[in-house]
Amino acid sequence: MLIKKRTGIEIPSSQITPEHLYLSRRHFMKGAAAIAAGALLAACRPDPPTTLPPTVAASDETGAAPATAAAISVATDELGRAVNSFESITNYNNYYEFTVDKQRVAELAADFQTSPWRVVVTGMVDKPGIYEIDDLRRKFDQEERIYRLRCVEAWSMVIPWQGFPLAQLLQAAQPQSAAKYVRFQTLYDPEQMPGQKSSRYEWPYTEGLRLDEAMHPLTILATGLYGRDLLPQNGAPVRLVVPWKYGFKSIKSIVQIELTDVMPTSLWMAAAPHEYGFYANVNPEVDHPRWSQASERLIGVGRQETLMFNGYADQVAALYAGMDLRRNF
């Protein structure tokens, strides 16, 4: 069952870009594009293609609703940013298990088997369990959440997910009082995921959250986007979405969720500890050692200033009260 509801986040009016600024920025962008292409030539450029990608056409035959704005209840996030197109969201993916080439993940992941699929909930819980993917979809009410996704590489998208709060699953498992962290693991299957044959990284992909982060109402397990089931390139059949952290924290194709009392070491922490920390909160003031995090390229729109905690500071800043975010990056 799909309950359509807003995330319940109030927009502080201070965060809404005044219309004249917004318009002048658009004007400026158009100007820059025109210079690049040559104003005269740009007038002759054909209109952008409106046909949906083959993946959408194929699933349309199964009777699913088309993946357009009509499939979701609202077309913008609470800051007024338009959701990205289904085509962009499903053809521009960081999923190193398949390839490091963002534009080729969709093709290489097309045959990935997402059914049958089991998620094991284990570790310091009173009620460990094994959930079939359909159980997760049935037992927990699926909600629509329109979230900004900010990649550590300084680009971002706005994505209409469906999923349910991770807290609901954790509550069902009843964490023990000693549990402090949640550790997540992606499927390990090099036959299906050719990237896992590379010894550059310590597979399987592992991520972690502090228990209070995992229980936060903004943290969800997503099973779909744009009103349909997740496609493999987006982390099918179930993935984490933690919107105030860099995208790599939102681990895909999860097979195991373990409660523990030791801080998990994520794949990226192991690969480059001085560049990727445990928290990985979006923070425009703490740069990556090799690039600035002050701004980002919002796909389909253009350059935006990066917001503290990706614009979710009012909801999550309290989780980090008193912490030195430069050290705990």
Partner 1 sequence: MNTLLPKLDRHAQARLLRIATHAGALLPLALLFYDFWYYRLGADPVREAILRTGKPALILLLLSLTITPLMSLAGWKQLQPLRRPLGLYAFLYVCVHLAIFVGVDYELNLRLILDGLVNNPYVVVGFTAFLLLIPLAVTSTKASMRRLGKNWKRLHKLVYAVGVLAIWHFLWLAKDNGEALIYAGILAFLFLLRFQPIRQPLMRWRRALQNRRRRPAASKRAAIQPEAEL
At closest approach, how far in Å is the CB of 248 from partner 1?
A: 8
Shortest CB 230 distance to partner 1, Å: 17
Q: Which is nearer to partner 1, 261 or 287 (CB)?
A: 287
Tell me the closest approach of the beta carbon of residue 176 to partner 1, in angstroms: 36
| Nearest-approach distance from CB 103 to partner 1, in angstroms | 5
Whole-number Å distance between alpha carbons of 38 and 32:
10
What region, left, alpha or beta, does residue 99 occupy, with left being phi > 0 and alpha being psi -120 to 50 degrees?
beta
Cβ distance to partner 1 smaller for residue 274 or 290: 290
The residue behind tokens 């077309």 is 75
Residue with tokens 């009016």: 13
Half-sphere exposure of 101 (CA within 13 A, CB side): 7
For residue 37, state whether it binds partner 1 (rule: CB under 8 A): yes
Q: How far is the CB of 281 from partner 1 (least distance, A)?
A: 17
- DSSP alpha helices (H): ranges in the chain? 19-37, 39-44, 54-60, 86-91, 105-108, 133-139, 166-173, 211-215, 267-271, 313-316
HSE, side-chain direction, 13 A CA sphere, residue 275: 13
Q: For residue 15, give the 3-state DSSP assignment.
A: helix
Indicate which single residue of 111, 126, 305, 324 sits in contact with partner 1 (rule: CB under 8 A): 305
User: Residue 314 pairs with which residues in a beta bridge?
Assistant: none
Among 292, 318, 323, 328, binds partner 1 (CB under 8 A): 292
Pair 152, 242: CB distance under 8 Å:
no
304 vs 154: CA distance, rounded Å: 10
Q: Between residue 184 and residue 243, which ones bind partner 1 under the rule CB under 8 A?
A: 200
In the shown chain, the binding pattern of residues 100 to 119 toward partner 1, with x for contact by CB under 8 A and - for none, equals: x-xx----------------
Q: Residue 327 interacts with partner 1 (CB under 8 A)? A: no
Q: How far apart are CA 328 and CA 320, in angstroms?
A: 10
For residue 42, the SS3 value is helix
Q: Decide: is 303 part of the binding site for partner 1 (CB under 8 A).
A: yes
- The minimum distance between CB 10 and partner 1, in angstroms, equals 28
x/- binding map, residues 152-181, to partner 1, per CB under 8 A?
xx-x--------------------------
Supply the DSSP symbol for 238: -
In the bound complex, what is the minimum distance in angstroms from residue 244's beta carbon to partner 1? 20
Yes or no: say if 288 and 261 are a contact pair by the CB < 8 Å rule: no
Phi, psi (5° rounding) for residue 109? -95, 0
Q: What is the Cα–Cα distance from 89 to 170, expressed in whole angstroms?
A: 28
The answer to whether residue 28 forms part of the interface with partner 1 (CB under 8 A) is: yes
* Binding-residue total with partner 1 (CB under 8 A): 39
- The interface region with partner 1, picked from 137-145, 183-191, 236-244, 302-310 by CB under 8 A, is 302-310
Measured from the CB atom, the residue of 75 and 154 that comes closer to partner 1 is 154
Pick 155 or 188: Cβ nearer partner 1: 155
Q: Does 322 bind partner 1 (CB under 8 A)?
A: no
57 binds partner 1 (CB under 8 A): no
Q: Is 18 in the site for partner 1 (CB under 8 A)?
A: no
> Of 8, 20, 43, 49, which one interacts with partner 1 (CB under 8 A)?
49
**Separation CA 17–CA 20 (nearest Å):** 8
CA atoms of 326 and 162, how far apart (whole Å): 33
Instruction: Summarize as ranges the residues that interact with partner 1 (CB under 8 A).
Output: 25, 28-29, 32-33, 35-37, 45-46, 48-49, 84, 87-88, 91-92, 96, 100, 102-103, 152-153, 155, 200, 271, 287, 289-292, 294-295, 297, 299-300, 302-303, 305
